[in-house]
Structure 1
Amino acid sequence: MSGTQLRDPVQEFAYFLVCLTQRLNPSAGWYGVFARRDPEGLRACLEGRDVPPWDVVESLLYDLSELPGEHAVTTASARARQLHAQAVAVHDARPGGRPALQERLQVMLREERRTAFRVRELEAALAVAGPREADRQAEDLAWARDDHLRAGARVGELRARLEALGRNEGRRQGKMRSRRRAKPPARPRGARFAGLEVPEEVPEEETEEETEGDTEAEWQVEPAAEEYESAPAPAPAAPRGARFAGAYGQDPMGDVEPADGRAHPAPAPAVAEARRAAATAVARLAHLRATTDGGLVYAELCAAASRPAQELPFLIEELERAGLASDVPTLLWEAACLPPAGLAAAADALAAAGRTEDGIQLLRQCVSRPVGEVAQAALALLERDRTAQALELLAALVRSRTPDEAAAAEAVAPDTLGPLLLAAAERVSPHRHSDIAHALRVAHR
């Protein structure tokens, strides 16, 4: 790199990291741990191909503070935090950044669950260990706890990065829409200009791609949308495929629907309107997929997830029909971030439409939220007479959290959620039921 060429924020942070690690012992401290555990990942960060989690940077700064004569750690820490924030913003905004973050978040959620289980195993083993094994198991337990804390910190960091990326993409979308709506000045009026032809000019900052399909009104007339505007919406088709074999009319999660073989009545006006709205939204998404980058598509998916819950099954159906099934997980992820009442409404709509697997995925994604919000979502499901879905949600909570964390959900509504938590834990395993029962007893002392 020439002396006059500026580094981008990712390269600038990598340069900072190289300078930091050059002052550390690669075979000692946390630097030595990272070098042994994940040498390729560390190399990618030092070369500017990736940005490390913040907990790794903090550990390296701790190593620096342990060196004799180091008095500038506070300044270095502030500088590191600033460079790291700038680097992740640029790194995440690159093409493919959002799917990569979502995939990494799922990996870290699994890691958080795995390490939590490992900690419990080692705690139980240490309680009955003899003198010879106690020291080794205590050391293993300390490492397992560190792994669990790091996994939790990285889950929180990844969620924050996804939220920041969504805000930035939304701002960019707003700017582009404002520019598209802006009208050129370029006709003069009044008697003294009568008969004068003035050519219209396109603003220089508008590219050919921006002027094509210029307004939102044009997006409304995609073929799929026109088809639904001009013809009555058909009744929902019966679920098909092996996963529904013999189950039409019976929701596998426990909610029974009538299935007497009679023809279904014509859909109510509200259902027809939901179908039309879903078709229009997916037509816009298809247009964006063809003409813009993924940022606008994500913003549109966020908006779609916030629409009335009865549209959600039709949105998924239209996405699949339009060849955009890869966008369904993102749509469900955003729906899982809705307030508890909105989340319950979305799960209710999916269950009523027979989209059981989508409903389960939605509920399982929800358990990454604070335990109190999960409890509120379970109560909202119960208010909608969706007991099976509330059990599924709490079972996912029991699987993914420690017994103490899962038991904390009971505090929101002890008389209602206590028995439901025990029932959900029993569905997971007898061992889990015993853990939750113990955690509830401890909480009541």
Structure 2
Amino acid sequence: MEISAPGRELAAFTVELRALTAELDPGAGWFAAFARRAPAELETWLAGLDLPPWDVVADLVQDLACGAGPRAAREREERLRTGYAAAAAAQDGRPAARDDLLRRVGLAEHAAREAVERGHRLAVAEQSARSAGHGQEGDRLATLRMWAEDDGARHRARLAELHARAAALSAVGAGRTVQRTGAAPAARGAGAPQDGADGPVPATPPPAAPARGARFAAATTVESVPAPRPARAARPRGARFAGLEQPTVRTTGPGRADPQAEEARRAATEFTARMLRMRTAGNNGAVHATLCEAVNGPPGRLPLVVEAMERVGLDAEIATLLWEAAALPPGPVAAIARALAESGRAGQCGQLLRQGAARPSSEAGTIAADLAASGRTDEAVTLLAALVRARRAADAVGAALAAPEVTPYLLRAARGVSEAHHHAVTTELRRAGVA
């Protein structure tokens, strides 16, 4: 019997996917993580019974890059991307495609909410364990929390993909209506979606490959793996973000309020109120986009936004805000960490830096060097200590290879973790010729 169109396209993509996994080490990297955490789903995808989310494909390509090199990975990714787009288009051409997409959207939204709630519970438990002096338990809970945050990030990326496909179907339906009636649909802007609405999207290509390396690169040493990041929103602009674009908050002297500082606080309050309205209305996608706007704004404004969010009980959203901030390039991460520390938010600064330890060790070294150069040596040590806890000593010394000036802080951090860690890091530094 001839295979149906959707089946042909999916079968062709599955051939490429199997060829990719045949070249991977099943006991290492992303492939091992998926086999351990989602064995049934992985079996379904490799059997050609369903199309995997694109983040899974991108992560398997990253595994290939580690073994075969970036050029081979890029060539393979292009073939997979073409096959993925064709398979998705074929799936979306079925009569019940829109209902199926909406069902998947509902499941992804539920899963994303559960991941946020699980991450919040684990963060509270981790803090309690560390306060009670149970460092090992705190480390275990921190790893579980990172997994919960990774899950949430994946579900948000998958939601964006599903919404794009559903919107493309709607656009096709509208185009058919135009052909039948001669009436043109109302024009919509080409920028970010308005609150509660989906913006216009192209047909069904997979999302662009995410910037890799920011999350959980040491997948073989801890249960933490990089998650695809949603596209970053542009810096907030317009009247509703007035005051959020100023780079610093200044005071004019004792007892005198700086108008710019007051305006920044007012803008942060209004910004948070808008986010609270979205959350109350259940518009989770718009909430996440708004968080990304705040993260991509001036670092000096972020503590004001966090303060305003605390006042209205958006604690879970603060955790997501810091998670998004940790995925920024090294320079902005260091700037946000400084802003949080200088505003007296040591706990949130530490949370941000501990998440940053999942980056490649070279990037962690760059951030630590930036912090130390600006006098924030304690924050540099916090980041490096998290790096030492999460990675093998041979990996952790990559921070000093990228930024030799952080070597004394790396040693200080390792000693703070344990004497065994200090010995291991010292040995690897000598082996690398750094110390």
Q: Give the TM-score taking structure 1 as reference length.
A: 0.50
C-alpha distance in structure 2 between counterparts of 1:102 and 1:384, whole Å: 39
RMSD after superposition: 5.8
Whose RCO is larger (CA < 8 A, sep 6+)?
Answer: 2
Name the SS of the counterpart of 2:397 in structure 1. helix
2:262 to 257, 264, 272: 272
Whether contact under 8 Å (1:285, 1:300) holds in the other structure is yes
2:406 to 389, 413, 417: 417
C-alpha distance in structure 2 between counterparts of 1:211 and 1:362, whole Å: 28
Report the CA distance between 1:317 and its aligned residue. 2.2
1:436 to 413, 425, 432: 425
C-alpha distance in structure 2 between counterparts of 1:413 and 1:19, whole Å: 40
Whether contact under 8 Å (1:169, 1:296) holds in the other structure is no
CA deviation profile, 1:46-97 (whole Å, cap 9, x unmatched): 6549659449989xxxxxxxxxxxxxxxxx9987664457779998993536
CA deviation profile, 1:290-312 (whole Å, cap 9, x unmatched): 56843333222111012222221
Of the two, which has the highest radius of gyration?
1
The verdict on how the C-alpha distance between 1:300 and 1:401 changes in structure 2, with shifts beyond 3 A counting, is same
Whether contact under 8 Å (2:275, 2:290) holds in the other structure is yes
1:319 aligns with 2:309: yes
Whether contact under 8 Å (2:105, 2:159) holds in the other structure is no
The letter for the 1-side match of 2:361 is: V
C-alpha distance in structure 2 between counterparts of 1:270 and 1:218, whole Å: 16
CA deviation profile, 1:155-190 (whole Å, cap 9, x unmatched): xx9999799779979999xx9xxxxxxxxxxxxxxx
C-alpha distance in structure 2 between counterparts of 1:36 and 1:399, whole Å: 22
C-alpha distance in structure 2 between counterparts of 1:425 and 1:274, whole Å: 39
Equivalent runs, 1:270-349 vs 2, <5 Å: 270-289=260-279, 293-349=283-339
The verdict on how the C-alpha distance between 1:348 and 1:269 changes in structure 2, with shifts beyond 3 A counting, is farther
The letter for the 1-side match of 2:398 is: A
Whether contact under 8 Å (1:101, 1:162) holds in the other structure is no
The equivalent of 2:200 in structure 1 is: none
Q: Percent same amino acid at aligned positions?
A: 34
- The gaps in structure 1 that reach 5 residues or longer are 22-28, 59-75, 108-153, 176-201, 226-232, 236-263
The verdict on how the C-alpha distance between 1:87 and 1:102 changes in structure 2, with shifts beyond 3 A counting, is farther
- The gaps in structure 2 that reach 5 residues or longer are 19-24, 27-31, 62-75, 93-100, 120-146, 169-183, 198-235, 243-248
Report the CA distance between 1:339 and its aligned residue. 3.3
C-alpha distance in structure 1 between counterparts of 2:238 and 2:59, whole Å: 49
The letter for the 2-side match of 1:423 is: R
The letter for the 1-side match of 2:391 is: R
Report the CA distance between 1:406 and its aligned residue. 1.2
Whether contact under 8 Å (1:101, 1:158) holds in the other structure is no
The verdict on how the C-alpha distance between 1:300 and 1:358 changes in structure 2, with shifts beyond 3 A counting, is same
Aligned residues: 297
C-alpha distance in structure 2 between counterparts of 1:57 and 1:212, whole Å: 33
C-alpha distance in structure 1 between counterparts of 2:296 and 2:325, whole Å: 7
Report the CA distance between 1:443 and its aligned residue. 0.4
1:399 aligns with 2:410: no
Whether contact under 8 Å (2:109, 2:159) holds in the other structure is no
The equivalent of 2:130 in structure 1 is: none
